[in-house]
Amino acid sequence: MTYDFTPLFRSAIGFDRLATMAGNVANAQALPSYPPYNIEKTGETNYVLTMALAGFRPEDVDVVQEDNTLVVRGSVPENSRDREWLHRGIATRAFERRFVLADHTEIDRADLVNGLLSIAIRQLVPEAARPRRIPVRTEAMPAAPAETVQAA
């Protein structure tokens, strides 16, 4: 039997904590699918979240980092409300998408170009949390001095 954990990690950026995401299993089917997005790892600690936002302008979109959550909200563009549509195949409905960010994650920038919102994300791993290589030496460690205890 094979288990597909993809829904668990669709909105997680910068870490793979199965335990944190396990609580979302029941809600995985209820996750909204609009607007569609991609998450791409572009470097050791760099990611790009790309969302398809055809018809939205920069002033219609809010990108906010709240602690370890990236929130992207879109409001219906003003220019689309007063039109008479014969056919409307490009969805421009209001939305809110939330993405869980790993600790020490920073949003570098957000650009809306040709209907694609690209958000550059960087994980800043503190020096204390990085792996540290310990050199292995061939010399013996000095012996610890013996402790003397005086009887009263």
- Quote the distance between the C-alpha of residue 28 and its chain's center: 17
Query: Has residue 151 been placed in a domain?
Result: no
Neighbours of 105 (CB within 10 A): 21
The per-residue pLDDT for 79 is: 67
Query: Has residue 120 been placed in a domain?
Result: yes
Query: Has residue 65 been placed in a domain?
Result: yes
Residue 90 banded pLDDT, cuts 50, 70, 90: confident
- CA–CA distances in Å: residue 59 to residues 63, 76, 77, 111, 127: 11, 10, 9, 12, 38
The per-residue pLDDT for 19 is: 44
Residues 14-66 have pLDDT tens digits of: 655 544 455 554 444 556 788 999 999 999 889 999 999 998 999 999 999 99
Query: Has residue 149 been placed in a domain?
Result: no
The per-residue pLDDT for 26 is: 45
- Please say whether the beta carbons of 35 and 92 come within 8 A: no
- Please say whether the beta carbons of 98 and 80 come within 8 A: no
d(Cα 112, Cα 64) in Å, to the nearest integer? 15
The per-residue pLDDT for 124 is: 87
What tokens appear for 150 in the block?
Answer: 């005086």
Structural domain that includes position 99? 6-126
Per-residue pLDDT at 1 exceeds 60: no
The per-residue pLDDT for 15 is: 56
Residues 135-145 have pLDDT tens digits of: 998 888 787 77
The per-residue pLDDT for 126 is: 80
The per-residue pLDDT for 100 is: 93
- Residues listed for the chain: 152
Residues 95-129 have pLDDT tens digits of: 999 999 988 899 999 999 999 999 999 988 787 77
The per-residue pLDDT for 59 is: 93
CATH of the domain at 87: 2.60.40.790
Pairing of strands 105-113, 116-123: antiparallel
The count of domains in the chain is 1
